Structure 1
């Protein structure tokens, strides 16, 4: 082992952010403080035990460091959650809210505006709330610094409605948002804003005024990072085609801007003979590029993905200014370590995982000797050079898709299959055509001459959307799958990192956990019953691999959440239309044949009183009873009773009848700080 670690000594530091990340991920996975404390004790105990290994060995130092780093990661996110986060509102409430506007985010695609407000004179409310306001109810006087008053129904930030869903509650907690709601007109302006819109909103509105049609939303997103003007069908096409990364201000955009600034500065300074011979051109150009990157990051709102990309770019520029090869995995590890120390909560988000996963895959592939030999420049004709460049892009695209597929399956329950082909055209089109044209149009607008450049920008963006809709519309564009268990994702990530971070033949041992994860994905059965966290919406898997929904009037958001969690791409049927279902206005009973037996399911459909004698008989007949209200103690089904009390403790459920497993959104004892605190009455009733 020591001989192997000696050969890999250059790669060992790459595991420092991995050790820290294990502690952070464990804090999110374990439910309460006693479990977090136990994890810290165990990791420190392992580090102490590792001291007994032979002195001077790399294995000893690595084992001690791993235990300490994992403990530090858990303490880091635990400490930040205690010091920075905003506890959520405990229950829904109507209020007359007077608040100071902290930010304004237009969402033209939904005809609304999002306001971030700090309540005034309301100590019972969280210190920061996010409210949606209809565009028609907005006033020019409402901007950052204004004071407004209106009636609003505030809700705690929403947790995932189903296992594997998007956890807005956790994200809102670390953003300091304690409640969300929708404002009821009229909106009274107590004190108007004095400074006018900020630069980002002015730029956003300016771009929307210069372009028309679907292209305007894409152009505004590329310049400001705000995707609020993108129509839902265009956004879905970008996601299905694997081009959604172009809409988020991240590495591609920051790199393109910094590269353009460096190129222009180098060319401009090289015109002067004195500058070319005597000045440190690369240092000056790198400094200009760094300032441009920092300014662009601040302009686009300094979101975590943009800040992360800016940090990585600054590290690259520092290496170039010092004359060193900066595009290495050590750069990636350094950037990841900085981000985890500043924003440890970013680790569990898809943005962090996808961006760093893609960069690790690209650099690991580029460092492989065979790939480097194939991609190296050589004396050959133009067609062969073009074909080699396309092959390199395809190989890189496939490597990125393979790396990102488990992440996409875990977070979004689907993964792109044709993204590598779409990106061959889309990335050069965006980097070398769209973004330069848009920058030129904005510069010419200073002189009032930007119309031709905006026309060209619109045509280029129309072509980009044509690619997105063409690729995204293919039935092979996306592979769907039901929500994955956490352990499958963890095993695949660790196996992938083992393959990519080591360099000797032992690296291929990581293929074993990757293979186990792939097999688990292929064998992962879709749930038979899905129940949302409020108990109102129930979806069943039918005999022909279709899905049926209890309430036909469920909105698009609920339908999308149910179908995505189940990995289903078809149309939801009505539960009442199933031949094995018997439904009245108050109850639905369904027979399901799973696992070699028949399951009897009883679901309530209304809040009307049901006669006790009949309801008791139905409960005794059923194996599973599901209700959005609290059921009496005498309702005792044979296997499972799911009512408001249980769902308050577990959140939404995914039930597999063939093996009798139940997945919940969170543990009944989950004590993460964004979880609403349940009162003693609710706890006693649930018991």
Structure 2
């Protein structure tokens, strides 16, 4: 044991170990462990294990009382891990909202807490606080209202009476799908739904100027000055309001790897703060009396900080924006103090601040993508080869520009590699040409579009902003053209079936090791990352996908196509089936498949998998059939799927996925070759947002 400790101490000393970032990692691991563990006793055991690790580390100290690196690491990591787990447990207990028991149509009176305009969907979302008289508790719900039904006074602070159709927040439709129930739990939402009929304004919104109203007015002003999709994107840059961006443009930006430009985050906050800093220091330098009495970098940093905070508040204070603002404020502080502004410790402090305020964000794609990109940038630009490449030297301006352009391309490529596992894990699809598109898009947005938007808004004060808006429109038209062209290229989008948690963990571990260590020691991170790549390539495509309600069934063929039980009108259901099956082509209705036999009540299909013929019996509707005939059909089938409860006499050879079974399991993914079943319930445990039966 002593020999192992000595070798570990020597490794830490030679590898340039920086404790700060790893403290943030330990805190995050505690939060993630809470999500992965299933039951309260396991959460308590996890907290206890961290404390025991710290106590054990304290016993390894030297006799003179001075702790070495390994004991100190065990103490700090153990305590911080326990603190992370306790933080997310407390957060869930404090903000979690019990969902309603079942769908309901009710008339209610509620206080408007938040209003989200979505012109692209011709609707407005209202978040209401209501009083549930039956349960004797206050609840928060979210309802969709047609845009034409929104009248005067229906904004924050209003009291409305309306008839609604409410649903409990939906669990993932399939294993690996989006978990809205978890998101709603931490947002405090007990139900979502839509409005039926007219809305009565009991009390109109108070006549006061709130940030939400300023944001809406700013967004509306921008769209009034610039029509079409260009105006929608300009409004997103100016106010953070993405509600007017059309689905086709959203999809093109996503498939081109440019979605991050639409979400107000590091790029936008950094551009605003950098512009404010440069403008402030230039203007203050024109005042000689001030220059002689104060340090201009400190004053300019203060002004830039106020600009960044104001922009963050104006654009809605979303988690990526707050994270970026915190990081930018730390950079300003480092600049004002004359310290190195680009450091992993700065990233670690920003991450810890976000995790303390919103610990649940760590399991979401926004947090993971934001910090993965920042860590990749900082690690790359702090590496010795890059520092040598970018070191100042006597050279022509053209060579200087070419060197920076190459570095921008390399940075984009590194970011794409860092983000690829995260994007595939959460969205099951990734843009392949994102690095190339970002080489043009990032400078275009940072140095052309956003400054022009700011100039146009300033000129609008005196009614002279039209020329600037014309230039803004052309710059954003170029951005959209780039997105659509990139997304339409052959092979521009890569779809993959659901990555396993183990594979994703190996990617994250390898990426963190590469990013947080220095020198040759960081190359060890290539081992788990390479192993994860092999596992990803070997990830089996599910043979059968069954939605949580039993209505939607997707079956993959051996030639890479997808058969669907129902020719559904639900885009959401079809997208889930296609993404989780890793299939790009539109599904084929099962009744049109040559080897399938379908009646008005059932479809029967045989599949050859793993040297065995599997027989599937799938209900197409809820029409009852004669029990004896159903029992005989079930006996001949290996798998029976239905969106209703089937009688106990229905006994298939392997699996009966009827409504009773699916209520407990949630959606299913079947790998027939290996004979394995993956369910939504396996990843849920006994967390408050999961309503599956025990």
Same fold (TM over 0.5): yes
Q: Does residue 110 of the first structure (1) align with residue 118 of the second (2)?
A: no
Cα offset for 1:669? 7.3
Which 10-residue stretch deviates more, 568-577 or 506-515? 506-515
- Matches of 2:139 and 2:692, distance apart in 1: 18
- Matches of 1:669 and 1:401, distance apart in 2: 30
Cα offset for 1:10? 4.7
- 2:31 aligns with one of 24, 32, 39: 24
TM-score for both structures, normalised by structure 1 = 0.96
Aligned to 1:652: 667
Q: Does residue 498 of the first structure (1) align with residue 509 of the second (2)?
A: no
Aligned to 2:44: 37
Aligned to 1:84: 95
Cα offset for 1:376? 2.0
Cα offset for 1:168? 1.4
Cα offset for 1:126? 5.3
- Matches of 2:618 and 2:692, distance apart in 1: 28
- 2:149 aligns with one of 112, 124, 137: 137
- 2:316 aligns with one of 301, 311, 330: 301
Q: Does residue 280 of the first structure (1) align with residue 287 of the second (2)?
A: no
Q: State the Cα deviation string for residues 67-89 of structure 1 (Å, max 9, x = none).
A: 22222211110011001222212
- Matches of 1:159 and 1:644, distance apart in 2: 15
Matches within 5 A, 1:512-661: 512-661=527-676
Q: Does residue 247 of the first structure (1) align with residue 262 of the second (2)?
A: yes
Q: Does residue 156 of the first structure (1) align with residue 168 of the second (2)?
A: yes
Q: Does residue 404 of the first structure (1) align with residue 419 of the second (2)?
A: yes
Matches within 5 A, 1:401-550: 401-550=416-565
Give 3-state SS (helix, strand or coil) of 1:178's partner: strand
Which 10-residue stretch deviates more, 450-459 or 284-293? 450-459
Q: State the Cα deviation string for residues 195-246 of structure 1 (Å, max 9, x = none).
A: 2671111111111211111111111111121211000010001011111101
Retained in 1: the 8 A contact 2:16–2:517?
Answer: no
Aligned to 1:380: 395
- 1:263 aligns with one of 257, 272, 278: 278
Retained in 1: the 8 A contact 2:43–2:85?
Answer: yes
Aligned to 1:169: 181
Give 3-state SS (helix, strand or coil) of 1:118's partner: strand
Retained in 2: the 8 A contact 1:243–1:422?
Answer: yes
Aligned to 2:4: none
Which 10-residue stretch deviates more, 396-405 or 646-655? 646-655
- Matches of 1:13 and 1:264, distance apart in 2: 33
Give 3-state SS (helix, strand or coil) of 1:83's partner: helix
Q: State the Cα deviation string for residues 470-523 of structure 1 (Å, max 9, x = none).
A: 111112322210111111111110111112211142322221111111011111
Retained in 2: the 8 A contact 1:88–1:675?
Answer: no
Cα offset for 1:579? 2.0
- Matches of 1:327 and 1:120, distance apart in 2: 49
Which 10-residue stretch deviates more, 118-127 or 68-77? 118-127
Cα offset for 1:322? 1.0
Q: State the Cα deviation string for residues 298-324 of structure 1 (Å, max 9, x = none).
A: 111111111111111111111111111
Aligned to 1:188: 200
CA RMSD of aligned residues (A): 1.6
- Structure 1 residues 525 and 436: CA distance shift in structure 2, 3 A: same
- Matches of 1:121 and 1:28, distance apart in 2: 30
- Matches of 1:172 and 1:343, distance apart in 2: 14
Aligned to 1:13: 20
- Matches of 2:293 and 2:601, distance apart in 1: 86
Give 3-state SS (helix, strand or coil) of 2:11's partner: helix
Give 3-state SS (helix, strand or coil) of 1:287's partner: helix
- 1:200 aligns with one of 211, 215, 219: 215
Retained in 2: the 8 A contact 1:111–1:134?
Answer: yes
Aligned to 1:313: 328
Task: Extract unaligned runs of 5+ from structure 1.
Answer: none
Which 10-residue stretch deviates more, 121-130 or 10-19? 121-130
Aligned to 1:674: 689
Retained in 2: the 8 A contact 1:350–1:411?
Answer: yes
Aligned to 1:96: 107
TM-score for both structures, normalised by structure 2 = 0.95
Which 10-residue stretch deviates more, 317-326 or 504-513? 504-513
Task: Extract unaligned runs of 5+ from structure 2.
Answer: 1-7
Retained in 2: the 8 A contact 1:90–1:677?
Answer: no
Retained in 1: the 8 A contact 2:118–2:243?
Answer: yes
Cα offset for 1:121? 6.2
Aligned to 2:5: none
Which 10-residue stretch deviates more, 542-551 or 186-195? 186-195
- Matches of 2:525 and 2:74, distance apart in 1: 19
Which 10-residue stretch deviates more, 41-50 or 522-531? 41-50
Cα offset for 1:416? 2.1
Aligned positions, number = 679
Which 10-residue stretch deviates more, 138-147 or 122-131? 122-131
Give 3-state SS (helix, strand or coil) of 2:139's partner: coil
Which 10-residue stretch deviates more, 260-269 or 275-284? 275-284
